[in-house]
Amino acid sequence: MSATLAEPSPAITRGPPFANRSYLFRLAITAAVLAGLGYWVANWEWPAGPAAGTGLHNIPPVAEVLPSRFRVATFNIHGGFGMDGKLDLQRTAESLRDFDFVGLNEVRGAGWQDPRNQAEQLGTILGLGWLFAPTETTWSGPHFGQGVLSRLPISSWRRVPFARADGNGYRNYVECQIPIESGNSNTKLTILVTHLDRKTDRQDQLREVIRRFLEVSPPAILMGDLNSKRTEPQLIALASEPEVNDCFSRLFPSDLARKRIDWVFIRGLKCLQSDLNISTASDHPVGWVELELSDHQSIR
């Protein structure tokens, strides 16, 4: 009986080593491109558009009308990042205690770490009513913009977008109405909060918000990061308008006052005191003003 010889196994054909490496390289490049495209789409920004409403969120018990004396502040919070580069909204909040109304700039929307926007987080810490007025939105929701914190009664507010031609993102201003006399909707304080662009759009934005500030009935306040120094012709002209007061002009010739780009202008109000407080919670100072109604109308 003859033995059956097993047929030899077919040889395994292998490509040259560089062929596999080339395939893996192309795969890695494709994955990186798709990941980058996904990130870009997820963070694609478009304007938030106009909005309006009455009252604020989480509003605590307050007086029905504006008191005769009150304190306002403007603060570009830099997204909650301090001079040390650390995100700490508790530190931001500590810079804002004892104010009746705060206009916030560079406020971030909800994120992975907290489902609340930063205006809501600060309002919760301080026990104040809050409003987030985004200028931009993404697929994940409202992304970036202004904010308001207040213990004063906000009867109405509106968010007004600026036109964009050559801007660094989208911008807007927020207009808040605060009643002065109980039951009289015609007697009110108007506060405009804004953060202007640094590019060529800034001139048109500044012109628009100044026009609105001058056309509303006094008393009125214009506050925010105007990205404009005191040499800006439009601001020089504004400060020369009858009954308009640049609340930080009294701080000259301090170096901080000369270089500042944060402003508070008033009409129909008396500035009792003001200051620019350097804060480690942001790359901007806290600009605050104590004001008094010219006719001293108040229920408090």
| One pLDDT digit (tens) per residue for the chain, 300 residues | 555 555 555 555 555 555 577 777 777 777 666 655 545 444 557 888 999 999 899 887 677 789 999 999 999 999 999 999 999 999 999 999 999 999 999 999 997 778 899 999 999 999 999 999 999 988 878 889 999 999 999 999 999 999 998 877 899 999 999 999 876 667 899 999 999 999 999 999 999 999 999 999 999 999 999 999 999 999 999 999 999 999 999 887 788 888 899 999 999 999 999 999 999 999 999 999 999 997 644 433
Does residue 10 belong to any structural domain of this protein?
no
Please tell me the pTM assigned to this model: 0.84
Residue 253 sits in the same domain as residue 281: yes
Does residue 53 belong to any structural domain of this protein?
yes
Does residue 4 belong to any structural domain of this protein?
no
> Per the structure, how many domains does the chain have?
2
- pLDDT for the residue numbered 266: 98
Does residue 3 belong to any structural domain of this protein?
no
CATH number reported for the structural domain that contains residue 96 in this entry: 3.60.10.10
Last-in-domain residue among 26, 44, 62:
44
> Comparing C-alpha atoms, which of 201, 221, 199 is closest to residue 210?
221
Residue 36 sits in the same domain as residue 87: no
Residue 109 sits in the same domain as residue 141: yes
Residue 22 sits in the same domain as residue 98: no
Return the H-helix or E-strand segment holding 235.
helix 233-239
Distances (CA, A) of 259 to 11, 74, 78, 169: 79, 16, 18, 24
Residue 157 sits in the same domain as residue 267: yes
CB-CB contact of 209 with 163 (8 Å): no
Residue 38 sits in the same domain as residue 154: no
Last-in-domain residue among 8, 24, 44:
44
CA pair distance 220, 192, nearest whole angstrom: 8
Does residue 11 belong to any structural domain of this protein?
no
- pLDDT for the residue numbered 116: 94
Residue 148 sits in the same domain as residue 236: yes
Terminal Cα distance for the chain, rounded = 120
Residues ≥6 apart with Cβ < 8 Å to 159: 48, 50, 51, 52, 133, 146, 172, 173, 174
Domain extent, residue 67, equals 48-293
Residue 54 sits in the same domain as residue 38: no
Does residue 207 belong to any structural domain of this protein?
yes
Does residue 6 belong to any structural domain of this protein?
no
Residue 219 sits in the same domain as residue 155: yes
- Annotate 240-280 with three-state secondary structure: CCCCEEECCHHHCCCHHHHHCCEEEEEECEEEEEEEEECCC
Residue 65 sits in the same domain as residue 117: yes
CA pair distance 118, 115, nearest whole angstrom: 9
Residue 30 sits in the same domain as residue 173: no
For β-strands 244-246 and 262-267, DSSP reports them as: antiparallel
Phi-psi region of 250 (alpha: psi -120 to 50; beta: other; left: phi over 0): alpha
Secondary structure of residue 23 in the 3-state scheme: helix
Residue 145 sits in the same domain as residue 237: yes
Does residue 233 belong to any structural domain of this protein?
yes
